[in-house]
Every structure is written in structure tokens, then in C-alpha cells.
């Protein structure tokens, strides 16, 4: 990637896309292509084809997609399946047709079986049943991973790279409880409890499941590293995590400390827990010479700083 290479960041207004945009700009890349959802609906195959024909991007970070928590995934599985498959398929095909040099696609840790050996290695894909609460979204992501391999195999290239970041968090995350992931939901609930002066906050589940989180800035950094080193990648997906997981209870305690909520945390054990652990084995990616640099505490402080400046004002 040269500083004047044409780089398309699809989904640049989202959690990851905004972090990649910031990272590219800070490194002096000056030919970055972005377009909003309103201006280009990536579900529309003809519009995507026309856009690539006109703009001829050389590198693509495919951060556009529909993401959400358990409630949204259970309520709108067909929408999750259709939106994600359509966006990725349109962008893969247009990238192939218009000779994109390299593209990075993002899968998700929910592609792996729900009862998986831990830490989860790349080769465990399709070795067991996936979690049913997010099966439609996961199926779309599995299609994306296989599509990357298939384009590379059929056209004898190594153009498409599939990364599997574990749960991401950071500025520009979605804090709407219907659509949010666990960490942004924890921040919002605990912040509201503090502002409301409540003496306790009730959180979903037992607090026992363990999850691994990676700061969006680190995923952006890893993505730019992957693009620069694309020639060293094999034709398989690469896990991307920190190697450290926390129980939801530990997370709630850390968030309470950062938010300065002094009340109690009560667990609603009637609500589902999901998989007991989801820790990725990211050694394949780390062995290429990259490592994350943000601790959970640092990332959460930055995220909470962004949240408290931006969201409560508009809510
Ligand atoms: N968040 C995580 O924890 C996580 C973990 C692993 C993998 N991933 C994957 O990483 C990628 C980025 O995730 P994210 O959390 O950054 O997502 P996000 O914050 O929800 O951002 C998604 C982006 O895609 C755009 N978009 C959605 N539908 C579109 C459409 N039909 N046409 C054009 N643009 C559209 C959104 O624009 P609007 O907001 O304007 O609709 C937004 O810019 C996704 O593929 C996701 O599956 C995410």
C-alpha cells in the first residue's frame, strides 16, 4: 500500500471503519475513499458494481455489515443473514471484477462451534453446532470466510484476507440496548445507574461466562498491518484477539470502577448466559509479528470518555 493508493473503507462510520479511517489518516494515506450508507446501499448489487467501476479502489477494508446483540439477532435473523451476505457478496464480486489488489473481510467468533475447545483455533471452524441465538449472522460470516478462500483458490491469488476479531469495543460503538454488544450495554446500564443515583443495577445472566475483548483501535492497527503484509498470509481465516478473557462479573466491576458507580450489581439468572467461554487462539496472526497494545482498562477509559461526551447528550 502506497500513501497515494486508493483505499476504500466500507462502513467508515461504524466502530471498526471509523478506527481504520483514523489510523490510515494518521499514517499519511491521502487517497481514502468513503461513501455513506445513505449515498450507497451496499445491498444493491448494481450500485456497488457501478461504484467500483467508477472509483477503481485498489485496497478494500470491508467493515460494512449489520451487527447486533442477542435480542436483535433473535428478532431479525433473516435481515442479519440477507444484509450481511448481500453486502459481502456484492463487494467480493466487484473487487474481483475491478482488480482490487487486497481486501480484508471481518468474520466473528460466533462462527465457531458453541461447545468448542478453548482457546479456539482456526481449524475448529465447522466442527460442531453453532450458537443458535446468532446462527443467521454466523452463517453469513461463514459464507464470507469461505468466499475469501474460494476467490483466492479459483483465481489463483491471495487477494482476500479473512480476519476474525473477537468482541470489539471502542468509540463509535452502538450503545442502543436493543442492538448493543455486552460491553457497550454494560457501560450504558452502569452509567445510567450512576446518573440516576440508583443503589443497584440489574445485569443479565449469571456473570460467569468469560469473554475476550479487543479495542477497535487495535483491530484497526492489525488490519493495516495485514494489508501491508498481505503477501505473507495463507489462504485461511486468522483469529484476532488479546489472548486474555474476563468473566462478565469482572467486566462489570471494572466498568463500575471507571464509571464511578458505587452501588451493587445484581445478576438476573433467569436470562440466558450464552456460551461459557469464547477465547480465540490468535497465535497464527501474532506469529506474523503483530501484537495488541491497549489494555482493557485503557480501552474502556477511552470508550467511556467518548460515550459520556457523545451519547447521553443526544439520548
Ligand atoms: N463489533 C464487534 O464486536 C465485531 C466483532 C467481530 C467482527 N465484527 C465485524 O466487523 C465489521 C465491522 O463491525 P462494526 O462493529 O464496526 O459494525 P458497525 O459499528 O455496526 O458499523 C457497520 C457499518 O456498516 C454500515 N452499513 C450497514 N449496512 C449498510 C448498507 N446496507 N450499506 C452501506 N453501509 C452499511 C454502517 O453504516 P450505517 O450506520 O449508516 O448503517 C456502518 O458504517 C462487521 O462485518 C462485523 O460483523 C464486529
What is the spatial distance between Cα 244 and Cα 161, in angstroms, rounded to a whole number? Answer: 24
Q: What are the φ and ψ backbone dihedral angles of 92, each rounded to 5 degrees? A: -60, -50
pLDDT tens digits, one per residue of 234-255 = 999 999 999 999 999 999 999 9
Atom of ligand 1 minimally distant from the CA of 16: 16
Domain-by-domain residue ranges, the chain? 7-314
Cell matching residue 313: 447528550
Residue located nearest, by CA, to atom 41 of ligand 1: 37
What is the spatial distance between Cα 32 and Cα 224, in angstroms, rounded to a whole number? Answer: 13
The catalytic residue among 29, 137, 238, 307 is 137
Q: Which of 213, 222, 218, 223 is nearest to 184 (CA)?
A: 213
Q: pLDDT value at position 144? A: 98
Contact 4, 31 (CB under 8 A): yes
Q: pLDDT value at position 140? A: 98
Task: Choose the residue to mutate in 18, 38, 65 for probing ligand 1, maximizing ligand atoms within 8 Å of C-beta.
Answer: 65
Q: pLDDT value at position 181? A: 79
Least trusted range by pLDDT, from 1-15, 20-34, 264-278: 264-278
Q: What are the φ and ψ backbone dihedral angles of 234, each rounded to 5 degrees? A: -85, 170
Strands 210-215 and 245-247: antiparallel
Residues of 199-230 as b/e, b for ≥16 C-beta within 10 angstroms? eebebbbbbebbbbbbbbbbbbbbbbbbbeeb
Question: What CATH number does the domain located at 7-314 have?
Answer: 3.40.50.720
pLDDT tens digits, one per residue of 172-221 = 998 887 777 789 999 999 999 999 999 999 998 999 999 999 999 999 99
Give percent above pLDDT 90 in the chain: 88
**CA–centroid distance for 153 within its chain:** 25
Cell 468448542, residue?
116
What is the spatial distance between Cα 68 and Cα 177, in angstroms, rounded to a whole number? Answer: 9
265 pairs with which residues across the strands? 201
For residue 91, the CA-to-ligand 1 centroid distance in Å is: 14
- Per-residue pLDDT averaged across 158-164, rounded? 97
Residue located nearest, by CA, to atom 18 of ligand 1: 14
Q: Is 90 exceeded by the pLDDT of residue 166?
A: yes
DSSP 44: -
Residue 71: which pLDDT band, with cuts at 50, 70 and 90? confident
Of residues 112 and 69, which shows the higher confidence score?
A: 112
What is the spatial distance between Cα 114 and Cα 148, in angstroms, rounded to a whole number? Answer: 23
Amino acid at each position: 500500500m502506497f500513501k497515494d493508493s486508493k483505499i476504500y473503507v466500507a462502513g467508515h462510520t461504524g466502530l471498526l471503519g471509523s478506527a481504520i479511517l483514523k489510523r490510515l489518516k494518521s499514517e499519511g494515506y491521502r487517497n481514502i475513499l468513503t461513501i455513506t450508507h445513505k449515498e450507497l446501499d451496499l445491498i444493491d448489487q448494481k450500485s456497488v458494481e457501478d461504484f467500483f467501476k467508477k472509483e477503481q479502489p485498489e485496497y478494500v477494508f470491508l467493515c460494512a455489515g449489520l451487527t447486533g446483540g442477542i435480542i436483535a439477532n433473535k428478532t431479525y435473523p433473516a435481515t442479519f443473514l440477507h444484509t450481511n451476505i448481500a453486502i459481502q457478496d456484492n463487494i467480493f464480486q466487484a473487487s474481483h471484477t475491478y482488480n482490487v489488489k487486497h481486501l480484508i473481510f471481518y468474520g466473528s467468533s460466533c462462527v465457531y462451534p458453541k461447545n468448542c475447545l478453548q482457546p479456539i483455533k482456526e481449524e475448529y471452524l465447522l466442527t460442531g453446532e453453532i450458537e443458535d441465538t446468532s446462527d443467521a449472522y454466523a452463517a453469513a460470516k461463514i459464507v464470507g470466510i469461505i468466499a475469501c478462500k474460494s476467490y483466492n483458490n479459483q483465481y489463483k491469488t491471495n487477494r482476500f484476507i479473512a480476519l476474525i476479531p473477537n468482541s470489539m469495543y471502542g468509540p463509535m460503538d452502538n450503545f442502543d440496548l436493543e442492538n448493543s454488544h455486552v460491553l457497550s450495554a454494560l457501560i450504558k446500564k452502569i452509567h445510567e445507574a450512576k446518573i440516576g443515583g440508583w443503589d443497584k443495577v440489574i445485569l443479565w445472566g449469571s456473570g460467569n461466562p468469560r469473554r475476550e475483548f479487543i479495542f477497535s483501535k487495535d483491530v484497526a492497527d492489525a488490519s493495516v498491518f495485514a494489508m501491508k503484509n498481505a503477501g505473507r498470509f495463507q489462504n485461511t481465516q486468522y483469529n484476532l484477539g488479546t489472548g486474555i478473557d474476563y468473566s462478565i462479573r469482572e467486566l462489570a466491576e471494572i466498568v463500575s470502577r471507571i464509571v464511578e458507580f458505587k452501588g451493587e450489581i445484581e445478576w438476573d439468572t433467569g436470562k440466558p448466559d450464552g456460551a461459557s467461554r469464547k477465547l480465540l487462539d490468535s497465535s497464527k496472526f501474532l506469529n506474523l509479528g503483530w501484537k495488541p497494545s491497549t489494555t482493557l482498562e485503557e480501552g474502556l477509559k477511552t470508550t467511556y470518555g467518548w460515550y459520556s461526551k457523545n451519547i447521553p447528550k443526544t439520548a
